[in-house]
């Protein structure tokens, strides 16, 4: 039920313009960032193919398959950070604008639609594997935590107008200082000590920090100040540091030392985490690099066609039935073949992204044909006109019930 409470609150906010109802100026779209979002989804699919697909945990340690599999895993690891950073970069603007709550409702409906649609497909293929509970679960994606990113983003969404306003009214010097604080405290320190409940990056707090970083990068113009060769060299260096530590790094437990004053365990996965400083820096450099790329008119059309479906790639790839019955150990038989370990996850990920984009374009056409957005706007209009009256009548009724109980 928590999902529908959120939707009702969103409808009231949007319908009545409680927050940020100000001038909304059209901004120039950055197609480089749009392409980066699609690229990040490709990396996410590859990350899941290597992990849930059965390669990473089943290749023989120290074999060539192991070394190349982890190289691909590390290359794909900045994916989630990239997507969250682009959210902050795209959503922030120097001029205050209306926070579009309608978009969140559409996003929630997209998540529920795919949940029910994919469950129906599995039901048609194998009715014995699906029950009514499976359908009900998909109708409450936030309550049931079906997609951790979407759940975390839901919490973040309500803070966005306040975050943007705070960044807008803070000078660049303090914002750059904040970048340093986030990197030092929440990546270097917490990546070792694990004291700030970041959940290795699977949390609302980490998403919030990434959003802030993306917004600051745009506000301070950091995306325009670093030379291209430094971006490329930085990405390569941070990838190499992460890979070398995974392969050859030290492992130790500080509390085993006689005079240890800090209870910390360090493994070779130290830098293989969303909250890793090296993984974060790679994601930041990707954002800066892609944000300045210019494209031809024809390629821009391809990006524009595909970018609106980027989130659907994640939803489809992470649906629990696809996750369990398709992706799980999909590549397990290939772990003894180096060429297949490298090539197959890449081909599968690329194919999955293309198919998911095409599927979502059909979903968008269906929503357009059903006038989903117009219906939402109509409902919001009705709520705006009547919710105060409904609330007043409910208050009067409650007061009457209470007085009846008190005075008989």
Per-residue pLDDT tens digits for 376-396 = 877 776 766 666 556 556 665
Question: What pLDDT is recorded for position 22?
Answer: 41
Residue 67 — pLDDT band, cuts 50, 70, 90?
Answer: very high
Contact 59, 69 (CB under 8 A): yes
- Beta strand residue intervals within 263-356, DSSP E: 265-266
Contact 284, 217 (CB under 8 A): yes
- Beta strand residue intervals within 178-286, DSSP E: 252-253, 265-266
Looking at per-residue pLDDT, the higher value among 263 and 301 belongs to: 301
pLDDT at 29 over 80: yes
Query: Which residue reads 């008190």 in tokens?
Result: 406
Question: What pLDDT is recorded for position 18?
Answer: 43
pLDDT (mean) for 234-240: 97
Question: What pLDDT is recorded for position 103?
Answer: 87
Residue 7 — pLDDT band, cuts 50, 70, 90?
Answer: low
pTM for the whole structure = 0.88
Please return the burial class of 143, using the count of CB atoms within 10 Å of its CB with bins 0-12, 13-18 and 19+.
middle
pLDDT at 188 over 60: yes
pLDDT (mean) for 114-141: 93
């Amino acid at each position: 039920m928590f999902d529908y409470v959120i939707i009702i609150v969103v409808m009231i906010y949007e319908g009545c313009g409680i927050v940020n109802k100000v001038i909304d100026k059209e901004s120039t779209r950055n197609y480089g960032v749009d392409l980066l979002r699609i690229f990040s989804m490709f990396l996410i699919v590859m990350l899941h193919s290597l992990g849930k697909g059965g390669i990473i945990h089943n290749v023989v340690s120290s074999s060539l398959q192991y070394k190349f599999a982890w190289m691909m895993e590390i290359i794909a690891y900045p994916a989630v950070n990239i997507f969250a950073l682009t959210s902050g970069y795209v959503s922030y603007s120097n001029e205050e604008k209306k926070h579009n709550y309608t978009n969140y409702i559409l996003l929630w409906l997209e998540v529920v639609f795919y949940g029910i649609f994919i469950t129906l497909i599995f039901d048609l293929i194998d009715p014995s594997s699906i029950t009514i509970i499976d359908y009900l679960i998909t109708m409450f994606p936030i309550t049931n935590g079906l997609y951790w990113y979407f759940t975390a983003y839901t919490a973040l969404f309500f803070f966005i107008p306040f975050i943007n306003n705070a960044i807008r009214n803070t000078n660049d010097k303090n914002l750059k200082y904040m970048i340093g604080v986030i990197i030092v405290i929440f990546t270097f320190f917490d990546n070792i000590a694990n004291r700030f409940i970041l959940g290795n990056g699977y949390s609302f707090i980490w998403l919030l920090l990434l959003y802030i970083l993306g917004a600051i990068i745009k506000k301070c113009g950091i995306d325009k100040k670093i030379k291209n060769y430094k971006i490329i060299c930085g990405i390569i260096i941070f990838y190499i540091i992460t890979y070398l530590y995974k392969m050859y790094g030290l492992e130790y437990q500080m509390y085993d030392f006689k005079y240890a004053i800090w209870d910390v365990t360090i493994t070779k996965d130290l830098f293989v985490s969303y909250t890793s400083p090296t993984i974060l820096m790679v994601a930041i450099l990707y954002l800066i690099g892609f944000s300045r790329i210019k494209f031809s008119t024809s390629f821009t059309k391809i990006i524009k066609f595909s970018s609106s479906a980027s989130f659907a790639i994640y939803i489809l790839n992470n649906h629990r039935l696809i996750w369990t019955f398709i992706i799980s150990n999909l590549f397990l038989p290939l772990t003894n073949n180096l060429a297949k370990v490298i090539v197959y996850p890449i081909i599968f990920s690329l194919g999955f992204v293309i198919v998911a984009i095409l599927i979502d374009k059909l979903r968008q056409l269906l929503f357009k044909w059903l006038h989903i957005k117009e219906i939402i706007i109509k409902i919001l209009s009705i709520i705006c006109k009547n919710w105060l009256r409904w609330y007043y009548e409910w208050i009067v009724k409650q007061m009457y019930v209470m007085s009846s109980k008190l005075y008989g």
